[in-house]
Amino acid sequence: MFFNIILASPASGSVDLGWNLAAMLSIPDLIKKKRDGEKLSDEEIKLFIEAVTANTAQPCQIGAMLMAIYLRGMESAEIQTLTREMMLSGDVMSWPNEWKKLVVDKHSTGGVGDKVSLVLAPALAACRCKVPMISGRGLAHTGGTLDKLESIPGFNIQQTSEQIVGILDSVGCCIVGQTERLVPADRVMYAMRDATSTVDSLPLITGSIISKKGAESLSALVLDVKFGRAALYKDLQSARELAQLLVDAGNGLGIRTGAALSQMECTIGRCVGNSLEVIESLETLKGNGPDDLMELVETLGGMLLMMTGLVSDLSEGKKQISDVVIGGAALSKFQAMMQAQGVASETAASLCSAHTDYYSILRKSEHQMELKASADGVVQDIDGLILAQVIHKLGAGRSKAGMPVNHSVGAELLVSLGQRVKKGASWLRLHYEDPAPSQDQIVQLQKALTVDHSETTQQRQSLVAEVLLPQ
């Protein structure tokens, strides 16, 4: 089957400014207005975003406006317009009519060991959805889906719009990087936010995330908004505030948008680090996944199936996702997706076979070291932030955009929360190369494990604290 891709022009759907208004307003006027705490009109936001995209706004003017937005905030209507105008700054994808209700994606605000996308995208494809998942690279201590997938030899995250349509037609899902032509205003603003300390602004985060999802022309979107010590937002209340803004902005663009608020204290699953997380994802797709990862995949997938109308309630959605993972249909989709994105067919088949020697394909680190529990007792806590920060410094993450990562570096938890351990038992296997962990880093890692002397073991707590669904 062949489909034409129709890309809306940047100006489509936009308000005609007319020469009068454009002539009257200058960028310094707009900056002054926001600086003084006034609300920007739709036309003023449009003018600013057009100037950013056309490169006619000076970097200092963009930086000043970002800071004004950071300090003064934006009303909900301004955030809606900002998001829409950012989306319209580049290509907007268009899908065949028969997919209209089925095109879905998810966004996570960043976690440790967060490999949900690798399982969720093929599971949704196995439930008849079309999933053009546009993912990112690691940010700060959090891992990036694209970095994980690039640990698979041959996996190509760069696909054109035409190739994406072809893969969705034949497989149902792909996981790709942002194309050059998608939301160019965000590319400029994101780089400047980094340079002007305006990254953690709710209106700017909302515009950045939702404009890119809007450009994918989704039918439904689910947001995994994390809270806890290893998340961007530390407490439930601030995560709730971000989630509500994101949900409103998504629904404002006509995308059925929901959110799950999920805890990010430890790690998701047992592995952190690029190749290790690919292995854990493949094991999950073979039916051997950890409960916390499966809980997130089922909840987020179930919400999307509900929002597309493929199921009528969340529990039915969760069950369908669980069935395609346990039954192997999602694994077949992952295999087909790898092949469609450049992985040799023997490699894809071997990674998906029941008794794979993963390290005959994925690179194993030259060195491993096991850390030992210092007391008998029950595991009360494992600090995911410490684990992530140490392995990031050992090369699993990057300190500057564009730097390579070492796919083989990472850590495997050998114990779980609530488990009884003996003094001297191994609790963490560290995979490293150059640099080797310093003594100080080993001391740090040991502090990540809290064992107490209580006699009772504990049940695992649910990761998902709240779910927001559109009306």
Give the binding site for ligand URA (CB under 6 A).
Answer: 205, 208-209
Task: Please name every residue paired with 216 in a beta bridge, in sequence order, or none if there are none.
Answer: none
HEC secondary structure over 47-75: HHHHHHHCCCCCHHHHHHHHHHHHHHCCC
Active-site hit among 106, 107, 115, 141: 107
Scanning 367-451, the segments in alpha helix (DSSP H) are 384-391, 439-448
- The answer to whether residue 208 is catalytic is yes
Nearer to ligand URA, 208 or 263 (CB): 208
Residue 318 and residue 304: Cα distance in Å, rounded? 10
DSSP-derived secondary structure letter, 220: E
Scanning 127-235, the segments in alpha helix (DSSP H) are 145-149, 161-170, 184-195, 202-214
Nearest Cα neighbor of 465 from 301, 291, 274, 237 is: 237
Active-site hit among 115, 137, 141, 212: 212
Nearer to ligand URA, 188 or 340 (CB): 188
Nearer to ligand URA, 47 or 182 (CB): 182
Residues with Cβ within 8 Å of residue 419, at least 6 apart in sequence: 378, 379, 457
Q: Which residue has the tokens 């599971």?
A: 123
Closest approach of ligand URA to the CB of residue 109, in Å: 7
Task: Please name every residue paired with 225 in a beta bridge, in sequence order, or none if there are none.
Answer: 261
Nearer to ligand URA, 207 or 273 (CB): 207
Residue type, 148: K
Nearer to ligand URA, 120 or 305 (CB): 120
Closest approach of ligand URA to the CB of residue 209, in Å: 5
Residue 105 and residue 431: Cα distance in Å, rounded? 32
- The answer to whether residue 16 is catalytic is no
Nearer to ligand URA, 178 or 335 (CB): 178
Q: Are strands 426-432 and 367-372 parallel, antiparallel or unpaired?
A: antiparallel
Q: Which two tokens stand for residue 359?
A: 């390290």
Return the residue nearest ligand URA (CB atom).
Answer: 208
- 93 CB neighbour count, 10 Å cutoff: 22
DSSP-derived secondary structure letter, 55: T
Closest approach of ligand URA to the CB of residue 50, in Å: 20
Distance of CA 332 to the CA centre of its chain: 23
Residue 381 and residue 426: Cα distance in Å, rounded? 16
Nearer to ligand URA, 264 or 371 (CB): 264
Beta strands in 15-138 (DSSP E): 104-108, 131-134
Q: Read off φ and ψ for residue 150, nearest 5 degrees.
A: -70, -5
Active-site hit among 105, 114, 147, 186: 186
- The answer to whether residue 35 is catalytic is no
Q: Are 262 and 296 in contact (CB under 8 A)?
A: yes
- The answer to whether residue 212 is catalytic is yes
Active-site hit among 193, 256, 270, 333: 193
Residue 276 and residue 290: Cα distance in Å, rounded? 14
- The answer to whether residue 107 is catalytic is yes
Catalytic residue numbers?
107, 186, 193, 208, 212
